[in-house]
Amino acid sequence: MKIDLMRLLLPFIRPTPIRGPGLQRAVARALVATAASLVWITAPAGGLEAAAKPLSADAQLERVIANVGRGALTNAIGEIDRLIEQFPNFRLAHLVRGDLLLARVQPIAALGNSAYAARERLDELRAEARLRVRAGREVPPANQVPRYLLQLDATQTSAIVIDAGRSRIYVYAIENGTPRLVRDFYSTIGKLGIGKERESDRKTPIGVYQVTSWLPGNRLPDLYGKGAFPIDYPNARDRLLGRTGYGIWIHGVPSDTYARAPLASDGCVALANPDLEALAAYVRPGATPVLIARQVEWVAPSVLRAERETFLAALDAWRRDWESNDVERYLAHYAKEFRTSDKDIEGWKAHKRRVSAGKSWIKVALDKLSVLRDPGAKELISVSFDQDYRSSNLSQRTRKRQYWAREGTRWKIVYEAPAQAPVLALPESYPAGARAEVSTAKHN
């Protein structure tokens, strides 16, 4: 069962009162703006009831709208009542119920015909509805994957890809090196949008991050719902670019709320509490990557494999040239704009030449390799690995972070340093009186 969302959405986009025999059809068209993306876009064989998993709140809302489309207004009201009984704080569902009841006695113009609701709140619900409908129409292309997931290490069995411009979270499982979409969720982002640059700008960052820990909801203020997954903003690249701010979390919503408006946080990403609990099944703190994009770029798996092979060849050439102890050949892999924590390219070259002069042999092995394109910059790759370094006078194992960028036709290193251990930071929105309590929360 496929649904032509755009055709049904027209009265919602252009709210003109409808009268006459087409009333029920117009109700369906107006209410379809509340339909969220389903876990499936085409119903499984045997109908929605044949699905292996219980229907989500969004899927139940879709059934309401399907009943309206068939002219079964009484059935639709019964469905919406059951939905509200299960999720009593789903405000969008309450808005739909009000429209269904109103449609029995008078024409409706569009979603949200209450004369008593605050205009600002209605606008927020309409914005949420638009994004949910858009996600249903603009599903990830068949047989395509996000361009960012070049290679994950063995501990990274899934990845979170956030399309911030669409307020959508996609969860990918990694199977034989190829990402497979397993879930997607509506989400809230910063009040002033995306592209965080400074503290208190109320924006959600763009880039490559990692879930660092899990904070259970029973140790957090109600604002964060069932819990929170902090991420490591600002990362090394953010700090190099002078970006400030702290405490970016993926978290739930207050207990009296099913979902927040699309632009409602101080920079965090917020999900409905049932969705956060579903997301948690795929998250491994300390391993799961989080890629936040303005708009996800999709490619065929064959393109992803080709780009992976090209980059891995460049990475291995760097490793082999380091092992050769030919310092000039090794340094040719570093870009003119290279930076490390305390050196520019000239300082780095001088340091490496001094070190190399004291070596008679070098061996380098890379393990737990993660290679991710950065959604926030053109032709930039974030690389993390365990580096096992052995030489004639030193042996050490280090977790390392690099950024590689195109310089002409070659991939070159623009940043390199040992990876820093994450530090838990509370969001700017965190209530002052509750700050001491989070220190006892479970971080793992």
Q: pLDDT digits over 346-357, tens only?
A: 999 999 999 999
Cβ atoms of 170 and 146 within 8 Å: the answer is yes
At a CB cut-off of 8 Å and minimum separation 6, what does 10 contact?
A: 29
Q: Do the Cβ atoms of 151 and 308 come closer than 8 Å?
A: yes
Q: What pLDDT shows up at residue 15?
A: 36
If pLDDT is split at 50, 70 and 90, which confidence band does 358 have?
very high
Q: Binning pLDDT at 50, 70 and 90, where does residue 436 land?
A: low
Greater pLDDT, 75 or 380? 380
- pLDDT reported for residue 113: 61
Alpha-carbon distance values, 391 to 43, 214, 357 (Å): 59, 39, 12
Question: Is the preceding peptide bond at 234 cis, omega within 30 degrees of 0?
Answer: yes
- Digit-coded pLDDT (tens) for 403-424: 999 999 999 999 999 999 999 9
Written as one string, the DSSP assignment of 297-337 is: -EE-HHHHHHHHHHHHHHHHHHHHHHHTT-HHHHHTTEEEE
For 118-143, give one letter per residue: b (16+ CB within 10 A) or e. Answer: eeeeeebbbebbbbbbbbbeeebeee
- Residue 290 and residue 170: Cα distance in Å, rounded? 10
189-190 vs 263-265, strand pairing mode: parallel
What is the average pLDDT score of the chain? Answer: 85
Q: What stretch of H or E contains 264?
A: strand 263-265
Query: How large a percentage of the chain has pLDDT more than 90?
Result: 64
Report pLDDT for 271: 97
pLDDT score recorded for residue 233? 97
Integer angstrom CA distances of residue 140 from 136, 169, 181, 304: 10, 11, 9, 15
The percentage of the chain sitting over the pLDDT mark of 70, rounded to a whole number, equals 82
Structure-block tokens of residue 361? 């042999």
Tokens describing residue 227: 């819990």
What integer is the mean pLDDT of 168-174? 96
- Give the DSSP letter string of 151-208: E--TT--EEEEEEGGGTEEEEEEEETTEEEEEEEEE-BEETT-B---STTS--B--EE
Summarised one tens digit per residue, pLDDT across range 82-141 is 989 988 998 888 888 888 887 777 766 666 665 555 677 788 888 887 787 677 678 899
Conformational region of residue 211, where left means phi above 0, alpha means psi within -120 to 50, and beta covers everything else: beta
Backbone conformation region of residue 93, classed left if phi is above 0, alpha if psi is from -120 to 50, else beta = alpha
Query: What's the gap between Cα 80 and its chain centre?
Result: 29
What confidence score (pLDDT) does residue 108 get?
Answer: 60
Residue 398 has pLDDT above 90, yes or no: yes
What's the order of all strands across the beta sheet hosting 149-151? 149-151, 362-373, 380-391, 395-407, 410-418, 334-339
